[in-house]
Structure 1
Amino acid sequence: MSGSDGGWVALFSGGKESSWALYRALEAGHDVRRLAIVHPPAGSHRYHAPATSVARLAAQSIGIPVVDVGIPITDVEPPNVAREADHDSSAERDTEIEPLESALRTLDAEFDDGLGGVVAGTVESEHQADRLRSMCDLLGCDFFAPLWQADPRELAETMIDGGLEILVVEVTAPGFDESWLGRRLDRDALADLDDLHREYGVHLLGEGGEFETIVTDGPHMSRPITLEFEREWSGTWGRVRITDARLQPPASDEA
């Protein structure tokens, strides 16, 4: 392993935290060469399936190749390699960490100068951060978590003001209604989230799983993503079903 001088890998879901962490890593000069998209088992309800296709388009717009990693337990924002903080058996580590670790070892061998580090959009989960940091220590590479322990409101405002186009694609908490599906997360939406936080305890970033997002444009992307979708609403829970997703043509093609 080569430390920070080698190639970097960013855990990437296409959602707001992983997208902003990637942008921060690129801004910091890290040589990010792969985006690791983490997949759950078939039928998992802890991962928003349409986000995978959007994440691939985002990767194309960013210009960084994707590596696919399949693990049993994951979450959209960011890939969650742990189940519960009080579960830390070696068997759990094998089933949840090993596939990601194996993929990173493969990339370490592929990169001429080895694996330099891993980028993650972890914000509040101590257990998740500890597991990822321990994995990086084992691999002999650096760990970069630029959003770690950021103030939720300040981070949301920074991502919005920084140019991320963020869409809400799933809601599963009291206070939300169908109008949130496909809604842009802007200053007005953030004000409404403040109200939901006060009344229902909704986390401003959805860290408790209250809502999920995808990013369709940002300062790290060369072309925005255009989406067409339908809303699926059950009365207490809803999600966006993406019917079409494509990159907008380059500006020169529109002239």
Structure 2
Amino acid sequence: MNQQAWVSLFSGGKDSSWALYRALEDGLNVERLLTVHPAGDSYMYHVPATTLATLAAESIGIPLVNVDGDFDAENVEDAGEQGDKETETLETALRDLDLDLAGVTAGAVESEFQTHRIQDLCDRLGIDLFAPLWQEDPRELGDAMIDAEFEITIIQVAAYGLDESWLGRTLNKQALDELEELNDEYGVHILGEGGEFETLVTDAPHMERPIELEYDTEWDGDRGRIRISDAELG
């Protein structure tokens, strides 16, 4: 009897990568990665550097499904309605897959906005949701990723207390210590759950080859990002 397939909702960032890694460690049959590429801002999906998910998927060795999202959450009046629209894009993509689906993996930590919509989607499709980060302690999650030898690069910041020096920085134990202090002082989420910062996993145990980056930094007063000029597998 063929084992049912899992699909990993994947951006290349640390949270979705950790959910995928944990699924593989638990023996789930992950047959596809799926990346939604929003046209602009998004309530449901990681936005920066999602094009690099293709390189990550090649290194991981699991086929990637790319989905273009023709939505932009900027200046939207009804966040709930927009979130539903963004979820419909994912549901359509999952229904279009020629797979006997068991479930999907997701990297949500604390966002009920995202998680409830994905859970409702799974209920409609009659599949399971694997969300190993959900409501876990942020510091313990960060430590677990680092202990598992995830190499995590910060690619975007947008929070008071995070300056240009964080762009391109590796998320290691020292960085987590500093983020705990910023959490106490300014309320910055230790894992950037509220969009305070975004990440890219450049290497991990489930990746055969690391992603090597060349980039410049862009800073605009109180926020910034790295602009990647070249990326390849090492």
Q: What is the TM-score when the length of structure 2 is the normalising length?
A: 0.91
Compare 8-17 and 52-61 and name the one that shifted more. 52-61
Asked if structure 1 preserves the Cα contact closer than 8 Å seen for 2:158 and 2:196, the reply is yes
Deviation at residue 53 of structure 1 after TM alignment: 2.6
What aligned pairs does 1:178-197 form with structure 2 within 5 A after superposition? 178-197=164-183
What percent of counterpart residues are identical?
57
Deviation string 1:129-186 (CA, Å, 9 cap, x unpaired) is 1211111111111111111101011001101111110000111111111111000000
What aligned pairs does 1:1-255 form with structure 2 within 5 A after superposition? 5-41=3-39, 43-44=40-41, 48-49=47-48, 51-71=49-69, 72=71, 84=79, 87=80, 93=84, 95-107=85-97, 110-111=98-99, 114-248=100-234
Q: Hey, which bits of structure 1, 4+ residues long, moved more than 6 A? A: none
CA distance in 1, matches of 2:160, 2:203: 29
CA distance in 1, matches of 2:83, 2:200: 29
Query: Equivalent residue for 1:79?
Result: none
Deviation at residue 45 of structure 1 after TM alignment: 7.5
Q: What is the TM-score when the length of structure 1 is the normalising length?
A: 0.83
Q: Give the number of aligned pairs.
A: 227
Q: CA RMSD in A?
A: 2.1
Larger radius of gyration: 1
CA distance in 2, matches of 1:188, 1:35: 31
CA distance in 1, matches of 2:134, 2:190: 15
CA distance in 1, matches of 2:61, 2:72: 28
CA distance in 1, matches of 2:42, 2:123: 31
CA distance in 1, matches of 2:83, 2:172: 38
Does the residue aligned with 2:142 lie in a helix, a strand or coil? Answer: helix
Deviation string 1:217-254 (CA, Å, 9 cap, x unpaired) is 00110001111110101121110000110000xxxxxx
**Per the alignment, do residues 247 and 124 of structure 1 end up closer, same or farther by CA in structure 2, a change over 3 Å counting?**
same
Deviation at residue 11 of structure 1 after TM alignment: 0.4
Does the residue aligned with 2:212 lie in a helix, a strand or coil? Answer: strand
Asked if structure 1 preserves the Cα contact closer than 8 Å seen for 2:38 and 2:47, the reply is no
CA distance in 2, matches of 1:104, 1:196: 39
Q: Mind listing any 5+ residue stretches in structure 2 that lack a counterpart?
A: none
